[in-house]
A and B are shown apart, each in its own frame.
Chain A
Amino acid sequence: MDFNLTFWGQTIAMIVFVWFCMKFIWPPIVGALEERQKQIEAGLAAADLGQEKLLEAQAKAEGIVDDARKQATGILDQAHARANEIVADGKADGVKERERQLTAAKAEIEQEANRAREELRGQVSAIAIASAEKILRREIDDRAHEDILGKLAQEL
């Protein structure tokens, strides 16, 4: 219980330990704590920012998909219209072709008919001449009427 040198020893020891703590222990630990606080703060801010960016990107993506859908619908409509147009064009062409062929056929038929008529006329006149010849041969001299017959044949 007596006071002695231990008293001073303890005071000196305390000064040394407190100095050591103040110099080498406290600053690094508190520094690490503050650094961690900053990092956590920065991390949370970054997370918030990321969330915002994500929402933004989602909205953007939705817009893009909408646009694409609209475009696709447009293209589809155009394609339908074009197809109808092509079909209509085809029909018109067909009609024209048919008419063209029809007229060609008619013309040909006309020609054939004319030719046949011509031929028929030739044959009829030949028959007529032949029959006239036969009749005349019986009654008239060929020579006497040759010029008339020749004229007649030419007129036919």
Chain B
Amino acid sequence: MAAEGGHGPQTSSEYITHHLQNLQVCKTETGEWIWNQCAGNPMAINVDSMFWSISLGMLFCFLFWRVARKSSVSKPTKFQALVEILVEFVDGSVKDTFHGRSRLIAPLGLTIFVWVFLMNFMDLVPVDWIPELAKLLGVPYMKVVPSTDVNVTFGMSMAVFVLILYYTHKFKGPLGLVKDLTMHPIAPPTKGLGLIAAPIIIAFNLILETVALLAKPVSLSLRLFGNMFAGELIFILIALMGLYQLPLHFGWAAFHLLIVTLQAFIFMMLTIVYLSLASESH
């Protein structure tokens, strides 16, 4: 495991690279599992991303489950009140946007919001604390913010993308998706001379709408990834400045706290919007 561990990064560039390196394990062509020499290997797992992502997801599930289990009608605890504020906030957002009936969307929104918020929030832990601790324990790399891993954000937007397709199918029937892709935004003419132009219009629509459809998960994940990655990078750069980092670090953390919350909200809100678009006819 300690293939590259043991000695600290020397130059700034090494320091940054070290901080942006995931702890990986992968299966080589010979069939054995090796640590941290996995560049370009599609069979690699970012162990740190998975660890923190799943831990935070479980933390969310545990905390909220405990509240849900003991949830009291007449005597809510303070934490229950907090959870209820979040639930009502998400429920309100869903009801404002999504007009169909679905048991899935509101819990999906809540999970995304809280989970993404927790993952983003790891960005506010001082950048060296956990990696240095890990190094003491013999772990050479430790990237603690899962949402700075493009695999993580794409993994989530992939699930959302599948749900978009599923909701289109569910609310508009099997032909709904084809119609969505070909009949908008320009309605092809159905009679007269315009029929000649119809195939061209349909082809144009298809290209445009396919790009638009694919852009949804890509933009969803890249927005989160980009924001978090940039924020993390700035924290690392600030950490390189020696003593001057303290006020700067504080300022950026205060600002980043807004980004962390906002990005979690945007991810949730866009998921709801995409799913309501998929379930409503234009």
Is the pair A22, B155 in contact by a Cβ cutoff of 8 Å?
Answer: no
Is the pair A17, B103 in contact by a Cβ cutoff of 8 Å?
Answer: no
Is the pair A10, B151 in contact by a Cβ cutoff of 8 Å?
Answer: yes
Apart from A13-B53, A17-B111: 4 A-B pairs, beta carbons within 8 A: A6-B152, A13-B50, A24-B68, A28-B71
How far, in whole Å, are A24 and B76 apart by their CA atoms in the complex? 18
B4 at the interface (CB under 8 A from A): no
Within 8 A of B (CB), among A4-20: 4-11, 13-18, 20
Q: Interface digits, A14-45 against B, CB 8 Å rule (1 contact, 0 not)?
A: 11111011101111111111011001000000
Contacting chain A: which of B80-88, B165-173, B248-256?
B80-88
Instruction: Please tell me which one of the listed residues B26, B69, B152 contacts residue A28 in the complex, with CB atoms under 8 A apart.
Output: B69
How far, in whole Å, are A131 and B238 apart by their CA atoms in the complex? 176
Within 8 A of A (CB), among B19-71: 24, 26, 38-46, 49-50, 53-54, 57, 60-61, 64-65, 67-69, 71
A2 at the interface (CB under 8 A from B): yes
How far, in whole Å, are A80 and B225 apart by their CA atoms in the complex? 101
Is the pair A1, B150 in contact by a Cβ cutoff of 8 Å?
Answer: yes
Chain B: interface secondary structure?
helix
Within 8 A of B (CB), among A125-153: none
Is the pair A33, B84 in contact by a Cβ cutoff of 8 Å?
Answer: yes
Is the pair B38, A29 in contact by a Cβ cutoff of 8 Å?
Answer: no
What is the interface residue range for chain B against chain A? Answer: 35 or more
Is the pair A17, B61 in contact by a Cβ cutoff of 8 Å?
Answer: yes
Q: B149 — which chain A residues lie within 8 A by C-beta?
A: 6
A-B contact pairs, 8 of them (CB 8 A): A5-B43, A6-B46, A7-B155, A8-B155, A10-B53, A10-B155, A21-B110, A22-B103
How far, in whole Å, are A141 and B63 apart by their CA atoms in the complex? 166
Chain A: interface secondary structure?
helix
Q: B91 — which chain A residues lie within 8 A by C-beta?
A: 30
Q: A6 — which chain B residues lie within 8 A by C-beta?
A: 44-46, 49-50, 149, 151-152, 155
Instruction: Please tell me which one of the listed residues B53, B71, B159 contacts residue A32 in the complex, with CB atoms under 8 A apart.
Output: B71
**Shortest Cβ distance from A17 into B: residue:** B57
How far, in whole Å, are A7 and B115 apart by their CA atoms in the complex? 16
Instruction: Please tell me which one of the listed residues A9, A15, A29, A30 contacts residue B45 in the complex, with CB atoms under 8 A apart.
Output: A9
How far, in whole Å, are A26 and B41 apart by their CA atoms in the complex? 39
What is the interface residue range for chain A against chain B? Answer: 20 to 34
How far, in whole Å, are A16 and B88 apart by their CA atoms in the complex? 22
Task: Give the distance to chain B from A122, nearest Cβ to Cβ, in Å.
Answer: 120
Write the residues of chain A forming the contact surface with B, with a CB cutoff of 8 angstroms.
1-11, 13-18, 20-22, 24-33, 35-36, 39
**Shortest Cβ distance from B108 into A: residue:** A18
How far, in whole Å, are A25 and B91 apart by their CA atoms in the complex? 13
Is the pair A25, B44 in contact by a Cβ cutoff of 8 Å?
Answer: no
How far, in whole Å, are A28 and B49 apart by their CA atoms in the complex? 31
Task: Give the distance to chain B from A84, nearest Cβ to Cβ, in Å.
Answer: 68
How far, in whole Å, are A45 and B112 apart by their CA atoms in the complex? 38
Q: Interface digits, B67-103 against A, CB 8 Å rule (1 contact, 0 not)?
A: 1110111101000000110011001000000000001
Q: B88 — which chain A residues lie within 8 A by C-beta?
A: 33
Q: A26 — which chain B residues lie within 8 A by C-beta?
A: 68, 87, 106-107, 110
How far, in whole Å, are A36 and B71 apart by their CA atoms in the complex? 11
With contacts A5-B44, A22-B104, A28-B71 taken as known, whether A11 is within 8 angstroms of B159 at the C-beta atoms is: yes
**Shortest Cβ distance from B71 into A: residue:** A32
Is the pair B150, A21 in contact by a Cβ cutoff of 8 Å?
Answer: no
Task: Give the distance to chain A from B31, nearest Cβ to Cβ, in Å.
Answer: 15
